[in-house]
Chains A and B, each alone.
Chain A
Amino acid sequence: DVKVTQSSRYLVKRTGEKVFLECVQDMDHENMFWYRQDPGLGLRLIYFSYDVKMKEKGDIPEGYSVSREKKERFSLILESASTNQTSMYLCASSPGTVGNTIYFGEGSWLTVV
């Protein structure tokens, strides 16, 4: 079974703090993704990576950055958290071939106060 693990399920951070969301997958997948889920807006792609040290902007990258130093690990960074970044963040991974199933982690609920 594919396992995508997000280290923090629930976080509360203050405005202006730097926030790290960590994600690890155990299936040697090439591709990793960070999505944000908000009610009525569905899942929106923030950043993705198709290889170590590679990153590509998704649809809503503003205010976020990412890091992929190892194949199995993909981190989402909020440089200076703001209240409009309060959301559920979902990490996902998929094999390198185009059109393969994306597997999601359990999600990280982030509240910025």
Chain B
Amino acid sequence: GENVEQHPSTLSVQEGDSAVIKCTYSDSASNYFPWYKQELGKRPQLIIDIRSNVGEKKDQRIAVTLNKTAKHFSLHITETQPEDSAVYFCAANSGGGADGLTFGKGTHLIIQP
């Protein structure tokens, strides 16, 4: 099955700086890569996703890049703000069928004022 590795587990940045979270996956058939944000005590919510037919996608201050050859994808957050503090999860599907998503272990992003 799919295996997703996520780094770092904790990331502390100054407000206004950029944050980058990286993930690798193992199943070359995976074709859907979402990112979820989970605030304390709340459900994970989708913030951005990318499919294997594109290399980059941007939505305001967040962007995701995908390198299919290397099997890795990254989340980039620019001009970080206090409300960006949360746990972020990357995920990948299992390359076909309704197999659900395999998630990374999460990154706790801390925005320092």
Contact A90 B43 (CB under 8 A): yes
Chain A interface category by residue count: 20 to 34
Tell me which residues across on chain A come within 8 A of B103, comparing CB atoms: 35, 42-44
Q: Are A42 and B105 neighbours in the complex by a CB distance under 8 Å?
A: yes
Nearest opposing residue in chain A for B34, CB measure:
A101
Q: In the assembled complex, how far is the CB of residue A99 from the closest CB belonging to chain B, in whole angstroms?
A: 4
B contact residues around A44 at 8 Å (CB): 103
With known contacts A41-B105, A43-B103, A98-B32, A90–B96 Cβ distance under 8 A: no
Q: Are B44 and A31 in contact (CB under 8 A)?
A: no
Residues of B within 8 A of A99 (CB): 31-32, 51, 93
A107 with B43: in contact, given A41-B105, A98-B32 (CB under 8 Å)?
yes
8 Å CB interface, A93-113 against B: 94, 96, 98-99, 101-107
Q: Complex formed: what's the CA distance from A35 to B91 in Å? A: 13
Shortest CB distance B88–A (Å): 11
From the candidates A58, A96, A98, A104, name the one contacting B44 in the complex (CB within 8 A): A104
Query: With A59-B1, A90-B43 known to touch, is A43 a contact of B89 (CB < 8 Å)?
Result: yes
Bound together, the chains give a CA A41 to CA B6 distance in angstroms of 11
Which A residues contact B (CB, under 8 angstroms)? Answer: 30-31, 33, 35, 40-45, 48, 50, 56, 58-59, 90, 94, 96, 98-99, 101-107
9 example contacts (A-B, Cβ-Cβ < 8 A) are as follows A40-B9, A42-B103, A43-B89, A43-B103, A90-B43, A98-B31, A98-B93, A99-B93, A105-B43
